[in-house]
Structure 1
Amino acid sequence: MSQVKAILFDLDGVLTDTSEYHYRAWKQLADEEKIPFTREENDIHLRGVGRRESLMYIIRDHQYSEDQIQDMMKRKNDYYNELIKTMTPNEVVPGGRELLQEIRQAGIKSAVASASKNCHIVLERLQIVDLFDGIADGTCIVNSKPAPDIFIFAAGLVQTPAVDCMGIEDADAGIDAIKTAGMYALGIGPKERFHRADRVIPDMKNVHLKDLLAN
Structure 2
Amino acid sequence: MNGLPDRIRAALFDLDGVLTPTAAVHAAAWKEMFDAFLRTREGPGFRPFDQNEYNEYVDGRARADGTRSFLASRGITLPEGAVGDPADVDTVEGLSERKDEIFRRMVERGGIQPYPGSVRYLRAVRAAGLRTAVVSASRHCAQIVRAAGLDDLLDARIDGIVAARERLTGKPAPDTYRAAAGLLNVIPTQAAVFEDAIAGVSAGRAGRFGYVVGVDRIGDQGEHSHAADLKGHGADAVVRDLADLLDES
> After TM superposition, where is structure 1 displaced by more than 4 Å over at least 4 residues in a row?
208-211
Cα root mean square deviation, aligned: 2.2
Structure number with greater Rg is 2
Is the Cα–Cα contact under 8 Å of residues 7 and 167 in structure 1 kept in the other structure? yes
Q: TM-score when scaled to structure 2?
A: 0.76
Tell me the equivalent position of 2:68.
Answer: 56
Asked if 2 retains the 8 angstrom alpha-carbon contact of 1:103 and 1:209, the reply is: no
1:71 to 87, 94, 114: 94
Q: How much has 1:59 moved relative to structure 2? A: 3.0
Aligned residue for 2:162?
140
Judged with a 3 Å threshold, the aligned counterparts in structure 2 of structure 1 residues 110 and 209 are, in CA distance, closer, same or farther, namely: farther
Question: Which residue identity lines up with residue 177 of structure 2 in the other structure?
Answer: F
Q: Please report how far the alpha carbon of residue 70 of structure 1 lies from its aligned counterpart in structure 2 after TM superposition.
A: 1.8
Match of 1:193 in 2: 229
* Structure 2: runs of 5+ lacking an equivalent: 40-46, 82-90, 217-225
Determine the C-alpha separation between the residues in 2 that align with 1:45 and 1:198: 18
Paired amino acid for 1:150: T
Q: Deviations over 1:21-72 (max 9, x none)?
A: 1122222222332344333322343222221122123433334323322222
In the comparison of the two structures, how many residue pairs are matched?
211
Match for residue 12 of structure 1?
16
Alignment map for 1:37-186 (pairs within 5 Å): 37-40=48-51, 41-60=53-72, 61-67=75-81, 68-88=91-111, 91-141=113-163, 142-183=168-209, 184-186=211-213
Q: Secondary structure at the match of 1:49?
A: coil
The answer to whether residue 37 in structure 2 is matched with residue 30 in structure 1 is: no
Q: Which amino acid aligns with 2:71?
A: I
Task: Please identify, of 18-27 and 157-166, the stretch whose mean Cα deviation from structure 2 is larger.
Answer: 18-27
Contact 2:80 2:92 in 1 (8 A): yes
State the identity as a percent.
27
The reply to whether residue 3 of structure 1 matches residue 7 of structure 2 is yes
SS of equivalent residue, structure 2 residue 162 = coil
Residue identity matched to 2:241: M
